[in-house]
Structure 1
Amino acid sequence: MENKRPLILVSNDDGFTAKGISELIKFLRPLGEIVVVAPDAPRSGSGCALTVTTPIHYQLVRKEVGLTVYKCSGTPADCIKLARNAILERNPDLVIGGINHGDNSATSVHYSGTMGVVIEGCLNGIPSIGFSLCNHQADADFSPAHRYVQQIVSAVLKDGLPELVCLNVNFPDMPSYKGIKVCEQAKGFWQKEWETCPRENGKKYFWLTGEFTIVDSDNVNSDNWALRNGYVAVTLQQLM
């Protein structure tokens, strides 16, 4: 591991094979030494959850100059804890989550495993950034985000972030962006969150679903407004 270059620890909640994390790795390669410790399968919606009832394990997937990739049986937050305490030889200069398939704007940030990565890094005093794209498709086009990821990551590597503040960055699903807008988190709530899934034994089962309602849709300072109007939404998350 080349100690002269910044060490960037990367994880996500879509799993180590997701296109979003693969594209993120490509964007970050010129900026530092990359170590990926990501879930071995999708863990969306896991937030900051930890695995406390069973042991977890990790496995080396890929190693080359400037890049090492591991898959982990735990949650996104587990991945960061494991990396810091059992895998890495030095503390990372930056923790990055993403690029997530689907946005993490408004209140969704509280459920996001991608932001669980970021919060875990931030709580341990490491500058941390989450990136998400407003497209859930497996083959989503992340290319418009390329220069913005590099711009934001370069700035944080150079200047750092305030203590216990991390960045939540969301990209609209558009071929190009109007620029970056620093935002506040939109106000809203989820409703109709469960859809029945009946079974033959008579017990009721449910699929998680839902409709999100924005309360302040006209608020030009919100991340939701920025995304609807073609801007990259950057929200500062104050943890304490």
Structure 2
Amino acid sequence: MNKKPLILVTNDDGISAPGIRTLISIMNEIGDVVVVAPNSPQSGMGHAITLDSTLFSEEVHFDDGPQKEYSCSGTPADCVKLAVRQILGRKPDLCVSGINHGSNASINVIYSGTMSAAIEAGIEGIPAIGFSLLDYSWNANFEASKTYVSTITKHVLERGIPEGIVLNVNIPNIEKDLIKGIKVCRQAKANWVEEFDKRKTPQGKDYYWLSGKFVNLDGGEDTDEWALANNFVAVVPTQFDLTAHDFIKDLNTWNLNE
């Protein structure tokens, strides 16, 4: 009898979000599931960790599934750290994060709490995947995501991921029969151009409201943004080594010690 893999599930939208509830149900068909997720939304937290305040965690029960669940007062990265060091007491066989309500393609990966949880798992040497659906609504329909989440997860468990790499998976917000398949991509050169709307409180104090627009500067047909716009599930192998290796040789010609 084959032993089921131990799968850690987390997210950044909070432990009660429909996206993580969907992800939990999918993972229950694949392995033994333990959930450690934020007790409130933590979107846009990036790789923040809790340093100067108390971290709390408690076992919770949202449904009758076989999974064990723990809410955490910290960030998504905190959840992974706490799971490995305290709750599980060992490294899981896989960490999956999401399903996020909204895109984590292109530059969004930098700000994403969903992907930061996956990256934190990767730093720990745990194979990890971040899943996102391009629908920011709390009532998003995750039905079309299920097959792709399951397929990619099973392939990762079977084949593994090289050390230092995690998968960033984004799923278009369309009906299942309109999705053309899965495309392995690179991260697009695309980003948000922010603006700050200056306003005043009733007491006359200035405050600022962040707004802006998303600009895709990349015309390549091998990017995550292209794949999503053309009804493919986008899979980007993402590394957390931020070294610009190609520039090291040139930088050494600067004679910085002179």
TM-score range, shorter chain: over 0.9
Aligned to 1:232: 233
1:206 Cα offset (Å): 1.6
Cα 1:189–1:144 change in 2 (3 A) is: same
Q: Does 1:219 align with 2:215?
A: no
Please identify the structure whose Cα radius of gyration is greater: 2
- Equivalent in the alignment of 2:37: 38
- The normalised TM-score by structure 1 is 0.95
1:39-54 aligned within 5 A:
39-54=38-53
Deviation at 1:65, TM superposition (A): 6.6
Query: 1:85 aligns to what?
Result: 85
- Equivalent position SS for 2:28: helix
Q: Shift in Å at residue 210 of structure 1? A: 2.1
- Secondary structure of 2:167's match? strand
Asked if residue 74 in structure 1 is aligned to residue 71 in structure 2, the reply is: no
Cα deviation, residue 105, structure 1: 0.3
TM-score relative to the length of structure 2: 0.88
1:35 and 1:44 map into 2 onto residues whose CA distance is 21
Shift of residue 202, structure 1, vs aligned partner: 2.9
Q: Which residue of 1 aligns with 2:162?
A: 162
Listed as ranges, the matches of 1:70-149 within 5 Å are 70-149=70-149
Amino acid at match of 1:108: N
Match of 1:6 in 2: 5
Closer/same/farther in 2, CA of residues 32 and 193 from structure 1, 3 Å limit: farther
CA contact (8 A) 2:14 2:40 kept: yes
Relative distance call for 1:161 and 1:154 in structure 2 (3 A) is same
Tell me the alpha carbon deviations over residues 15-55 of structure 1, each in whole angstroms, 9 at most, x when there is no partner: 00100000111111110011111000000000110011101
1:102-158 deviations in Å (ceiling 9; x for gaps): 010000000000001001000110000000000001111111111111110001111
Partner of 2:186: 184
Q: Is the 8 A contact 1:32 1:66 kept in 2?
A: no
1:95/1:128 contact within 8 Å kept:
yes
Q: Shift of residue 212 of structure 1?
A: 1.0
**Whole-Å separation in 2 of the counterparts to 1:32 and 1:64:** 16
When residues 64 and 200 of structure 1 are mapped into structure 2, their CA distance, relative to the original with a 3 A threshold, is: closer
Question: In structure 1, how many angstroms separate the alpha carbons of the residues matched to 2:91 and 2:162?
Answer: 18
User: SS where residue 206 of structure 2 aligns?
Assistant: coil
User: Runs of 4 or more off by more than 3 Å in structure 1?
Assistant: 63-66
AA of the residue aligned to 2:227: A
RMSD over aligned CA atoms reads: 1.4
Opposite residue 45 of structure 2, the aligned amino acid is: S
**SS of the residue aligned with 1:209?**
strand
Q: Is the 8 A contact 2:7 2:31 kept in 1?
A: yes
CA deviations 1:56-85 (Å, max 9, x no partner) are: 110111286730111110000000001111
